[in-house]
Amino acid sequence: MTSRANPDAPARPRLRRHRGRRAWRLLTDAGHEVVFTAEHGGQPPQADPLLLTGVLFGQLGAEPEPARFYRQLTEAAEYRAPIAWADLEPALFDGLVLPGGHAPGMRQYLGSPVLREKVAEFWALDRPVGAICHGVLVLARAQDQGTGRSLLAGRRTTCLPKYMERTAYFLTAWRRGRYYRTYPAYVQDEVVASGAAFERGPVELSRRGTATDDTPAFVVRDGNYVSARWPGDAYLFARTFAELLKPS
């Protein structure tokens, strides 16, 4: 699979993980070919239905635009035929995006030793990598092939901040239990423990960046690595990652 964004450049496929509706839409519109992966391949993954219908009385779910993007995504041929993690050949790809998500169902993705090994192989190529929200945990848990330390040791990054994760949990625990607590430890605490230089960003609980306004959004770029906190940063995150894919 190849990218059509720059026909004069050497053709290599683009790699993304299996979630991240806005990033998929923006990268596809920019002419990049997106390849999806899933644990076993073949069958497309499914979004958490609560995020489509609303976590609490129809609220705290996907807004109309990302919900529309998700419907488009599920119809895309590349989404319906993901590659298995074990079958990935990292050197064939130009960029890697690790989307986020929460709840115990994410542990399949966040805790996979097979995926971490593939991510570490890609990281060693020094090509663009993006991670948002819980997706940063994959990098925090993966080990650098040379040093044996976390891939994020000494690197600037953000992730889902503790105040966001705690607020969502406290607001919904009476109804949804530990739905917003994927692990006993907060994402931020594990990322900090990896040796990363964590950056929280401005406090924000409601406003989200849009296609035309990045004011509420926050991302951290460190070389070929870009990270973001939550869906409210998705547009800025996707645009920043797309910039990293442009030939220098």
Does residue 42 contact residue 81 with C-beta atoms inside 8 Å? yes
Residues ≥6 apart with Cβ < 8 Å to 59? none
User: How far is the C-alpha of 229 from the C-alpha of 69, rounded, in Å?
Assistant: 20
The strand pair at 197-198 and 219-222 is best described as unpaired
Does residue 20 contact residue 40 with C-beta atoms inside 8 Å? no
Reference 203, options 234, 167, 164; nearest CA is: 164
Residues ≥6 apart with Cβ < 8 Å to 246? 6
Q: For 7-39, give one letter per residue: b (16+ CB within 10 A) or e.
A: eeeeebbbbbbbbbbbbbbbbbeeebbbbbbbb
* Cβ-based neighbour number of residue 181 at 10 Å: 19
List the structure tokens of 9. 């450049």
* Cβ-based neighbour number of residue 59 at 10 Å: 9
Q: What one-character DSSP code corresponds to residue 217?
A: -
The answer to whether the pTM exceeds 0.85 is yes
Q: What is the pLDDT of residue 5?
A: 33
Question: Over its length of 248 residues, how does the chain's per-residue pLDDT go in tens digits?
Answer: 222 333 333 333 333 333 456 788 888 888 889 999 999 988 888 888 888 888 988 888 888 888 888 888 899 998 999 999 999 999 999 999 999 999 888 999 999 999 999 999 999 999 999 999 999 999 999 999 999 999 999 999 999 999 999 999 999 999 999 999 999 999 999 999 999 999 999 999 999 999 999 999 999 999 999 999 999 999 999 999 999 998 76
Does residue 191 contact residue 76 with C-beta atoms inside 8 Å? no
Interior angle at CA 243, CA 241 and CA 244, nearest 5: 65
Q: Long-range contacts: 171-174, Cβ < 8 Å, 24+?
A: 171/56, 171/60, 172/55, 172/56, 172/60
User: How far is the C-alpha of 60 from the C-alpha of 63, rounded, in Å?
Assistant: 9
Q: What burial class does residue 212 get, using C-beta atoms within 10 Å of its C-beta: 0-12 exposed, 13-18 middle, 19+ buried?
A: exposed
Q: What is the pLDDT of residue 9?
A: 33
